[in-house]
């Protein structure tokens, strides 16, 4: 009678535990959490889709800064339609990725692309607001349209460079052994992506709104210096002049 191989037994045991981790029964809390996440996905998609439809259908919205808002809504719709459903599948299997390397790379690339584009669209809106306040005579509607289109193009180009870099060998996003799918952990890519997708736009937005605050404070101060003499004082001075 042949004895069972110890290696086969350990492999079967590990395989059984692996499948047990993947297909474990859900608790009430897990079901509620997944339900709320699914509702959030639907709400995010529908809300941003309504924003796009409104901008397209209402003619008065066919100008800046609504094209910047539409660009941001497109990135958010892509997050809700492409990224969040796959994230939900990942949560269903205990944060393990069972959909293969190719879909993992697509998911990570879309995630980084859309989130980075959304952040830079906010930055573009802040810049447009700053220029319209501080250079309202030079910053005409024609100039705003041209500059806003350039900013939208640069936003998506920069986001594409950051998101697609791991596909050309800058780090690894998928591990078949541990069934993990995550943003590349290569140190150089981490510095590049976090600086380009977060710290740089954060510094730009903070600087721009600080300048907007100073411009608004200067305008309020200039209005206060140009005070108008109250009517009661005018009447009193005129009566005194007539009496004298």
In tens digits, the chain (244 residues) has pLDDT values of: 444 443 343 444 344 444 445 555 567 777 888 888 889 899 999 999 999 999 888 877 777 778 999 999 999 999 999 899 999 888 888 888 998 899 999 999 999 999 999 999 999 999 998 988 888 778 888 888 899 999 999 999 999 999 999 988 888 888 888 888 999 989 999 999 999 999 999 999 999 999 888 887 877 776 666 544 444 444 444 445 545 4
> CA dist 59 to 23, 93, 125, 235, Å?
51, 46, 20, 51
CA distance 55 to 39: 24
Closest CA to 166 of 199, 190, 198, 145: 190
CA distance 205 to 160: 21
Rounded (5°) CA angle 114-120-121? 85
| pLDDT in the model for residue 26 | 63
Query: What CATH class does 28-226 carry?
Result: mainly alpha
| pLDDT in the model for residue 223 | 65
Which 8-state DSSP code applies to residue 135?
S
Task: With beta carbons less than 8 A apart as the criterion, state whether 81 and 44 touch.
Answer: no
| pLDDT in the model for residue 224 | 64
CA distance 195 to 148: 23
| pLDDT in the model for residue 169 | 83
Residue 175, H or E segment: strand 174-175
CA distance 55 to 63: 9
pTM of the model: 0.75
Rounded (5°) CA angle 158-161-165? 155
Task: With beta carbons less than 8 A apart as the criterion, state whether 28 and 49 touch.
Answer: no
> CA dist 110 to 52, 53, 86, 156, 183, Å?
20, 22, 11, 12, 11
| pLDDT in the model for residue 179 | 87
| pLDDT in the model for residue 160 | 95
CA distance 163 to 103: 14
| pLDDT in the model for residue 63 | 73
| pLDDT in the model for residue 13 | 39
| pLDDT in the model for residue 222 | 65
Each domain of the chain, given as residue ranges in start order, spans: 28-226
| pLDDT in the model for residue 238 | 47
| pLDDT in the model for residue 6 | 37
């Amino acid at each position: 009678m042949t004895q069972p191989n110890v290696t086969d037994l350990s492999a079967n045991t590990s395989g059984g535990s692996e499948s047990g981790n993947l297909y474990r029964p859900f608790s009430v809390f897990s079901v509620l959490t997944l339900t709320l996440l699914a509702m959030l996905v639907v709400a995010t998609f529908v809300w941003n889709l309504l924003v796009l439809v409104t901008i397209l259908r209402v003619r008065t919205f066919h100008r800046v800064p609504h094209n910047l808002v539409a660009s941001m809504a497109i990135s958010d719709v892509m997050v809700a339609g492409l990224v969040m459903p796959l994230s939900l599948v990942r949560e269903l299997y205990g944060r393990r990725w069972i959909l293969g390397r190719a879909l993992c790379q697509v998911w990570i690339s879309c995630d980084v692309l859309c989130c980075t584009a959304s952040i830079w669209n906010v930055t573009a809106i802040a810049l447009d607001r700053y220029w319209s306040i501080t250079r309202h005579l030079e910053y005409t509607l024609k100039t705003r349209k041209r500059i806003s289109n350039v900013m939208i193009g640069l936003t998506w180009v920069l986001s594409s460079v950051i998101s697609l870099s791991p596909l050309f060998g800058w780090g690894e996003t998928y591990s078949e052994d541990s069934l993990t799918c995550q943003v590349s952990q290569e140190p150089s890519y981490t510095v590049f992506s976090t600086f380009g997708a977060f710290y740089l736009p954060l510094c730009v937005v903070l600087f721009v709104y600080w300048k907007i605050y100073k411009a608004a404070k200067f305008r309020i101060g200039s209005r206060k210096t140009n005070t108008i003499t109250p009517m009661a004082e005018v009447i009193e001075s005129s009566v005194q002049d007539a009496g004298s």
